[in-house]
Amino acid sequence: MKEDPNLTQFPDTFQNAWLGWCAAPAPDAKFLARLEQQLQMQQAELLRPVRPEGAGLRTAWGKVARLVAVRRWRTALALAVILLAIGLLIVGPQRVLAQVQQWLHYVPGVGFIDLAETQVLPSPVEVTREGVTLRVDQVIAGRDRTRVVFSLPGFSEQSLTAAQKSASPGDFSASLGLPDGNRLEPERWQAAFGSGRLEFPPLPVGVNRVILVVPRLPLMMAGAMPENWEIPLTLIPAEGEAGASLFPEPYRLEKASDSHHGVTLRVLDVAQTADATALHYQLEWTDPGWQFFGSLGMERMPELRDNLGHGYWESPSSNSSVVSVGIAAPAPSQPAPTPSLPNTAGTLVFPSLSLYASQATLDVDSLSFSIPAQGTLRLDLGNHPMGEAWPLDASIDVAGFPVRLTGARLRQETVQAPDGRSEQRSLLEFDLGPIEEREGLSLVSITLMDESRGLYGFIGRTISGGKTTYKGRVEFQAGQTPTGVVTFDVTRADILVHGPWLVSWDVPGKEATAPVLPVHVSRAPVSKPGDVPQPVLEEALLSDRLTAVKLDAIGLPPGGTFLWVLPYDPFTYNPGQAISGLYLEDAWGRRYEAGRNLAFLRLNGDDPAYDPRWSLFAPLAPFAQRLTLHIPGMEILLPGKASFEVDVPEQVDFHPEEYTVMVVAGPGTGSQQTRTRWVSDIWPVDIYIDVAGCRLRLNQAQIERDEQSGPSYRLILTGNPVQRQQAGLSLISLRFAQVASPDGRVLAFDTASYESGLISYPFGGIGPVKPGSSEAQAMVHLDVTAANQADLLPGRYHVEISGVTGWIPGPWEIQFSASGN
Amino acid sequence: MMEDALLVVDESEPVETGEAALLEAARRDPAAFASLYRRYVTRVYRYLYKWVGNPVEAEDLTSQVFTEVLTGLVHYHEQGSFAAWLFTIARRVAIAAYRRRRPTLPLDALGDFPGPARDPLEQVSEVEQQERMAALFARLSEEQQDLLRLRFTACLSYAEIAALIGSSEAAIKMSVYRLLRQLYEKWETP
């Protein structure tokens, strides 16, 4: 955060004091794991309808996300451990861990650590008093610090009364007793109920026996639990055989790198554990004026892929264990890169690669840097009153990007904070021409500053509806409208460097022969073909990281296509309702829930497109053979063509209107909140839609204004109650082909747009007239904001519709063999 | 008063398209949700910790935030900043907790992360500086404090904060600069 250009303008002493004040401890790892487990369990039970793609709207509507049923994370992990053990027995640890680099080791939850001259605890040490056990899980005594990780096994926060708990972390203290009687005090620590981490200075040379002294357990009131703990600890050298066996040894990569636009990404080391694949990476760039923003991947998360079609997303340690590693004494035959260029290093952790993968690729799409950009922008603002807009023709070159200002406007806005308070702001806004990507670099934002007049502003890009536009903005005190000549200095710019960086390597010990997995299962025969709609198995892939099933459907109305599994009817959605979802079952009666996969499918290589016809499940247990896929319901698409036009008036007045929302905090629970929005009066329209055999009528129009979020102006069209069962379907939503705006802009949509789930506007659907009502009503929402993203765009809008979607209830069962035969 | 239904979250102006694919997957795939959780949980925890000043309450609030995210994720259907939406929830939860019990941040908490070993005089000096910074920070309005927390403790980008607050990236950058300058001027004054 220190590289924030806003902060680096101040002296180092202030920066350090400020950052010191802002620091907050990292959460306890066990808390993180516990919470994650709780969330996984909750996710299994939740009913989750998609809200309509509009803010503050009638939200019992819309299409429904497919059921995500989850279960038995631990079972899947245990399976991974077993498979790894089997793999090691078959392949042999020497081959798996070939090219082992001697000094660097991966310590789960910490990162890659140079264990040279380091002592560790050979096994956890416990002391039990009055039924309470304090366990030291690990000690890593290195040249720069001594880390101690401890826990209280079997400890439950719920078993404590409020009087036993201390809210102040300052009540906790600990020290390391040395053989000479001296004590080391911790330099930093984290503590939670039941666990803690301590960091002490390095042990004196020759010391391998210490005593951990804990006067009071963390976050406990005095007398609540046994006190004055002393745990003797004996450490062993990590470099010896016993020490080295404790931590995964990485293999070193010599030439695993990729470069774009002067930025090189290297994977230096890879460590493989039963549940993780950890990468030690280094990023190096040529321009010393650039400052890296510290995060890999700006538009997509970093991804690990293997040659079997698996993709893997980051695991938690990637966030918590980013460390700069000094490799003190690399093996002579494997010299580490010794860059003289600006660089940074870190750790990325992914779920464990498939045991059958022989090749791996790290994919990082883009990187963000702050770069120097010298320039001056001189503007004559004249003497325009508030609310006026005027053309501009001013240009400035920013780090090679030509930036052209085409217009300016003065306006006031009211901002409502989430807590309900509102305030007035006065703005000088700029319209800009397009700023093209240049040699793989995109301009993200630049800073404008007129020191003499105390004006400070920015120009930055906005991506909306897949389109990138640039806007400028200078905020000032109400009543102090700037006039005359202003001179903005530009000092730095934020850019995005586009890749992708694809760093590939061969996994040692794995032959590049035809992989054993995944097993491919082709389309299952249909037992009851006919006119009745039913899903069919199109394809299945079975691997040690996932079970993937691709479905289609037969017997649909003419032209109908299968979209995805939809477990329940969104129209009758009830938050408290328990449902049985999509799952697989083997002949032994073992269930495999959707979403318990350890990896996802990357069948099309670099193509990130998601095909919702695939459903992913946990990997199969050993000896799973005959499989039954249980399908509760599905959503299908009926194509058709229809169009309508609607006029937005020139003059629209808005008034505040309160509305209530229910914020859901869990199954069957929630709280009502009252909010305010600005809406126009309702005016009558008469729009008749006849598409794919379905007939809908819209007869009311209203515009909603919301400058804080989403499109600033939304046109909402609603209709009288309508028959929901049409064309053999329970109607859910309208599909749009394109919307043509009065200014000539045309927004077009295809199937992929909808499959990506990123379409917010337009939205069209069929939902209850009121929550809980059995009467159905059609609704359409359109974005009617002008291209400058600030004004209402009046005039005639032409809307083309490409079909409707509907729900077909099951259940169905599809049986197939796991053998691939 | 209009009657609306289930969950509505504060929408955010799409600023960057990051994580779109992961978000879409997270609606269907708990492994993807876990990735989202893991990506943000530390920042959320730190942000909440800075509000309430103790790890126990910060953990409780973190759990509350992610429970809401879990239930609300499928309703979140915007292109753009997931972080903004997430921290909208975190912010609301934090404000509610803060107003229930306005704690004084224990100065003990300042001792949590003194950084690398230094000589004792230097450490004393740093504690004094942080106490002074704490006093200056306390003079800011609740909203101003939160803006700085979002940027420097939660490490949100300006675009993400803009989407969260309901403003533009430029305005947020400007506000942060002004606040830092305000703090700096007071900090420089003996």
A28-37: average pLDDT: 72
Residues in chain B within 8 Å Cβ distance of A61 = 5
B46-51: average pLDDT: 84
d(CA A259, CA A246) in angstroms, rounded, equals 35
Helix (H, G, I), strand (E, B) or coil at A421: coil
Question: Is 50 exceeded by the pLDDT of residue B123?
Answer: no
Instruction: Give residue A516's pLDDT.
Output: 54
- Print burial letters for A750-786: b (CB count within 10 Å at least 16), e (below 16): eeeebbbbbbbbbbbbbbbbebeeeebbbbbbbbbbb
Q: pLDDT tens across A731-790, in order? A: 888 899 999 999 998 888 777 666 655 555 677 888 777 766 778 888 898 989 887 767
Question: Is 80 exceeded by the pLDDT of residue A236?
Answer: yes
What's the 3-state SS for chain B?
CECCCCCCCCCCCCCCCCCHHHHHHHHHCHHHHHHHHHHHHHHHHHHHHHHHCCHHHHHHHHHHHHHHHHHHCCCCCCCCCHHHHHHHHHHHHHHHHHHHCCCCCCHHHHCCCCCCCCCHHHHHHHHHHHHHHHHHHHHCCHHHHHHHHHHHHCCCCHHHHHHHHCCCHHHHHHHHHHHHHHHHHHHHCC
Residue of A21, A300, A470, A755 best to disrupt the B interface, most CBs of B under 10 A: A21
Q: How many residues does chain A have?
A: 821
Q: pLDDT tens across A287-313, in order? A: 888 887 656 776 677 889 998 888 888
H or E segment and range at residue A446: strand A441-450
- Contact status of A319 with chain B (Cβ, < 8 Å): yes
CB contact under 8 A, A219 and B75: no
CB contact under 8 A, A417 and B112: no
Contact predicate A816/A524, CB 8 Å: yes
Q: Please indicate, yes or no, whether the overall pTM of this predicted structure exceeds 0.80.
A: no
CB contact under 8 A, B16 and A298: yes
CB contact under 8 A, A23 and B95: no
Instruction: Give residue A461's pLDDT.
Output: 76
A36-56: average pLDDT: 46
CB contact under 8 A, B22 and A666: no
CB contact under 8 A, A26 and B13: no
Contact predicate A22/B138, CB 8 Å: no
| pLDDT band of A99, cuts 50, 70, 90 | very low
| pLDDT band of A166, cuts 50, 70, 90 | low
H or E segment and range at residue A562: strand A561-565
Write the DSSP string, A299-334. SS--EEEETTSEEEEPPTHHHH--------S--TTS
A489-501: average pLDDT: 86
Task: Chain A: give the shortest CA distance to residue B49, in Å.
Answer: 7
Residues in chain B within 8 Å Cβ distance of A189 = 112
Residues in chain A within 8 Å Cβ distance of B94 = none
- Contact status of A757 with chain B (Cβ, < 8 Å): yes
Three-point CA angle B155, B157, B161, nearest 5°: 100
Of A9, A17, A171, Cβ closest to residue B130? A17
Q: Tell me how far the alpha carbon of residue A528 is from its chain's centroid.
A: 42
d(CA A541, CA A818) in angstroms, rounded, equals 9
- Between A807 and A44, name the one with better pLDDT: A807
* Residue A411 in tokens: 């306006």
- Cβ atoms within 10 Å, residue A819: 10
CB contact under 8 A, B49 and A25: yes
Contact predicate A297/A314, CB 8 Å: no
Q: Tell me how far the alpha carbon of residue A248 is from its chain's centroid.
A: 28
Instruction: Give residue A97's pLDDT.
Output: 32
| pLDDT band of A420, cuts 50, 70, 90 | very low
Question: Is 80 exceeded by the pLDDT of residue B77?
Answer: no
Instruction: Give residue B159's pLDDT.
Output: 74
A716-726: average pLDDT: 84
Among A207-221, A681-695, B3-17, the minimum mean pLDDT is found in B3-17
